Structure formats: structure tokens, C-alpha cells
Chain A
Amino acid sequence: MIEIAELAKRYGRRPVLQGVDLRITRGRITAIVGPNGAGKTTLIKTILGLSRADAGRIMLDGVQLDGGVDYRARIGYMPQIARFPENLTAAELLALLKDLRASTDRDRRALDEELIDRFALGPQLDKPLRTLSGGTRQKVNAVTAFLFRPELLVLDEPTSGLDPVASSVLKDKIHAERRAGLTVVLTSHLMGEVDELADDLAFLLDGRVRFAGALEALKATTRQATLERAIAKLMAREAA
């Protein structure tokens, strides 16, 4: 679904992405992992057009992204940090997003508000967002990502800040949507979570993809039973 080629980005003098090549397959869940500062979030933001690449290209279904914005109607995004205007309520925030998308989604499909019920957010919807706890805001954040039944879901550290119950609800939702054909890109530093969710894995180190492929393939080539050990092996090999 997405093809990324020779993507490069630097912030000032610091290179963040140094020629990233990556293919994200339709209908699968791809996890981008790597140490802090490896460029995971930058890569995601470049796909969304939040950051502009210095070089390289991104193709979505064979069409190169060129700064147009309409493709974003097909994407649901859950940023890492959930901070919203303090005096708006969650209901107002959702209404704003619906209003904004209404202008571009001509044939609007029914909204997916399942997570509101599953997270039991109903009573929180009319309170100002500033009064909600960090975890609750993160739940609102998750709702916004699924709301428009996107073809592609982009999740930046989706379970951070969520309690185990909410985290399980979110993972179940991701699995359910994956079965229904959704493509997912997510970043995570929790290997257990990646093991549980992902089909494919891209290991990013110093702005380059050091491994890309199926989870099973990684475990097989490193001859390790768990993902954590497989990644550790990979990093040790890189260091050697």
C-alpha cells in the first residue's frame, strides 16, 4: 500500500532519516521499532505530511505524495501525545473532526464509534478535555483515529498511558479491523505488544531500516523464540 524510497530528513544538522526504504503491505500490521531517536515518529509524520522530507519519495497505492491533502481522508492517525484545547469537550472535538472531514468525504460511510462504548467514554464526552485524566484523553485520541473507518491506520505508541483494560480493548479493536482488511502502521517500544499485534516488522536504527520483513522470518533468522531476544540479537549483530 505504501512504498517509501530513499527518504531522508535532517533537523538542523542532525540527520534523523538517512535513506529509508520500506514497503508497507495492504491488509497487514507493520510495526516500526527501534531505540529512542531512531526516527520512528519522524517516519510516521512524514507519511502524514506533518514533516517534510528533504529527499526521497512516498508512494500511496502507486501515487506519489506531492503535498496534496486529500489522501489524508483515507488515514486515521493517533498521535503519541494527546493534548487538546483545554476548554473544548470531547464531544466538541469529535464534532470538529466530523465537520472537517465532511467537506472531503463526499460519500461518508457510517462513523465507527464503537470505541466510545468499549472505553465507556459516554459520561466523559461533555466534560472539558482539560479535566480528563491523561489516560482518558488517550482513549479519546484512539476514538478519533478509528472514527472515519480509514483504510490506513497510523498509530504512534498507541497503548502508552492506557491501563491494561483499555490497552486490551484497543488491541482487540486493532485485530478486529485488521481482519476486516485495514492496513495498520504502528510504532512501539514494547516488544510484547509488537509480538501480539504485528505481522511485519521494520527495525529502524540511526535513521536506516536495518531489518524489514515478517515477524516469523526475523525469529527464524536469528533463531530466537521471542521478539525481544530476536531484536537484541539484531542489535548485537549491528554493533559487531
Chain B
Amino acid sequence: MSAVRAGVVARVVRYELRDVAKSRWLLGYALFFLLATDALLRFGGGGTRALLSITNVVLLLVPLVSTVFGTMYLYDAREFTELLLAQPVRRDELYAGLYLGLALPLALGFLGGLLVPFAVHGVGDPSQWRLLAVLALTGVALTCVFVALAFAIALRSEDRARGLGAAVGVWLLFSLLYDGLVLLGVMLLGDYPLERPLIAAMLANPIDLARVLLIMQFDVSALMGYTGAVFEKFFGNGGIAVAIAALAAWVAAPVLLGARAFRKRDF
């Protein structure tokens, strides 16, 4: 495996950024966050409550948009990918370029939409800065995770409709079905000690991981009863580091899976 030349990656990223930056999708995405955050700050009551509402929007929307946009972009760029691969460019370089060229503008669109209203309205309580920072970082991490998942899936299916379907299926699983399944498990196995399995279940789902990381910042974990106490204890003992490492692994694993698929793929 020959080394990736950063210069080549940077060139691909630069031009892809120009392309994606002019996309109406991205503009709409950033605008939505801008309007939603602004509205919640204006009418959502106190700063913390607004932040809690925004957290829910972020946890639902960032993965969905990253998944759909990532899948569609890769299918649309198929002929372009071919053209670039016919140049003296290595596959890993092009893959890195394509990935960063999409994850970066999506993350920036999200950050812009989220942070501009706060810059305008200000943050009421200094303790909320920390919350906002965690929210921003978590959103960026989720963008990276789901663009990578979208790429890994889209590269394994020639058929556009099937690829998109599978990607949305993964989003659906992680954002909606997963919690239901975990709850079902808890109900069925309620007589057993479930702390460890529950923490494992949380680490195995990037959205849950992000949610728990965020909720821990809100001082409402006490309201979450028994499991909340379990998490509190877990995060108190260096669990935060574990959670962040798990989120990083959630970015790395699909990126590497996608790179493998990209290397083997016939264009």
C-alpha cells in the first residue's frame, strides 16, 4: 500500500468543496438549523430548555441528512470518480478527498446554522457555553459517522435505489428502532442486573452515544432513574473518555470499511 499524498487529497477536497458549497441542499440544511435554533432561542423559554430541544433536532436530523446526502453524492459522482481515477491519482487519495470534501461542508453548514443564532442572541448562563460546545462537537462527530456509513454502503451496492434504501434503513435502525429493541430487552430481562449490557448497548449505537454524552451535560440524568444513575456512575469514572473513544471508533470503522470497498471496486 503506497502512501497517501496529502497534496493530492487537498486538491480533490478544494474542488469538491466548491461544488458542494453551491448545492441548494447544503444551503437548505444550514438555513434549517439557523431558523430552528433561532426560533427555539426566541420562543423556547430559557436557554437550557431551548438547548435541550435543539439537541433532539440535532440527534435526529444530522444523521439523516448526512446519510442521504452522502449516499446521493457518491452515486451522482460516479462518472466524475471514474474520470479522476483515470488520472495519476491513487484510490486512497481520491477516497479521502471525496469523504473530506463532503463531510467538511456538511459539518460547517451544521455549525453555521447552530452557532450563528447563539452569537446573535448570546448565551444566558456561562455554564451553557460548555453545553453548546459539546452539542457542536457531537453534531460534527455524527456528521462524520453517517457520511462514512453512507459511503461504505453506497460503495457496496451498484444499484442506487438499493443503496439509498439500505442507508436510510441504517439511519432508521440507529435513530428509532434501536431504542425500542433495547427497551424490549430491558422489559424481558428486567429481573437481571443490566448495567453492563446497557452500557454496551449504548456504545454500540453512535446516536445513543451522542445522546447520552449530551444528556450527561444537562444535569437531568437524575431524572432518568436507575439507568441514569448507572450512566452517571459510569461517566463519573472516566466513562466520558470511553464514550469519546467509542465515538471516534464509530468514525474510523466505516471510513476504513469504505476505503476497503473503494480499493476493490470496479468502476
Does more than half of chain B's interface fall in helix, strand or loop, or is it mixed? helix
Q: Nearest A residue to B87 by beta-carbon distance? A: A100
Contacts of A203 in B (CB 8 A): none
B 247-267 to A, binary, CB cutoff 8 A, 1 in contact else 0: 000000000000000001011
The verdict on A107 contacting chain B, using a C-beta distance below 8 Å, is no
Contacts of B15 in A (CB 8 A): 85, 88, 92-93, 95-96, 99
Contacts of A23 in B (CB 8 A): none
- With A45-B267, A87-B23, A100-B11 already in contact, the answer to whether A72 and B88 are too (CB < 8 A) is yes
Bound: A72/B86 CA distance, A? 6
Does more than half of chain A's interface fall in helix, strand or loop, or is it mixed? mixed
Contacts of B76 in A (CB 8 A): 83, 85-86
Contacts of A50 in B (CB 8 A): 82, 85-86, 266-267
Contacts of A49 in B (CB 8 A): 85
Contacts of A79 in B (CB 8 A): 79, 82-83, 86
- With A97-B87, A100-B8, A100-B87 already in contact, the answer to whether A45 and B266 are too (CB < 8 A) is yes
Q: Is the CB of A144 within 8 A of B8?
A: no
Of the candidates A45, A84, A92, A100, the one whose C-beta lies within 8 Å of that of B18 is: A92
The verdict on A234 contacting chain B, using a C-beta distance below 8 Å, is no
Contacts of A45 in B (CB 8 A): 266-267
- With A45-B266, A50-B82, A52-B264 already in contact, the answer to whether A86 and B88 are too (CB < 8 A) is no
Bound: A159/B19 CA distance, A? 28
Contacts of A168 in B (CB 8 A): none
Bound: A87/B80 CA distance, A? 13
Bound: A85/B74 CA distance, A? 11
The verdict on B236 contacting chain A, using a C-beta distance below 8 Å, is no
Q: Is the CB of B266 within 8 A of A73?
A: no
The verdict on B121 contacting chain A, using a C-beta distance below 8 Å, is no
The verdict on A146 contacting chain B, using a C-beta distance below 8 Å, is no
The verdict on B16 contacting chain A, using a C-beta distance below 8 Å, is yes
Contacts of A88 in B (CB 8 A): 15, 18-19
Bound: A92/B22 CA distance, A? 13
Bound: A45/B79 CA distance, A? 12
The interface centre, meaning the residue of B7, B16, B19, B22 with most chain A CB atoms within 10 A of its CB, is B19
The verdict on B77 contacting chain A, using a C-beta distance below 8 Å, is yes
Q: Nearest A residue to B7 by beta-carbon distance? A: A103
Which residues of B come within 8 Å of A, CB atoms? Answer: 2, 5, 7-8, 11-12, 15-16, 18-23, 76-80, 82-90, 264, 266-267
Report 11 cross-chain contacts, Cβ distance below 8 Å, ordered by A residue.
A50-B82, A71-B88, A85-B16, A85-B80, A87-B18, A88-B19, A92-B15, A95-B15, A97-B87, A100-B87, A103-B5
10 interchain residue pairs of minimum CB distance: A87-B22, A85-B19, A77-B86, A83-B79, A51-B266, A50-B267, A73-B88, A96-B15, A104-B88, A72-B88
Known: A50-B86, A100-B11. 5 other contacts (CB 8 A): A48-B86, A51-B267, A79-B86, A92-B18, A144-B83
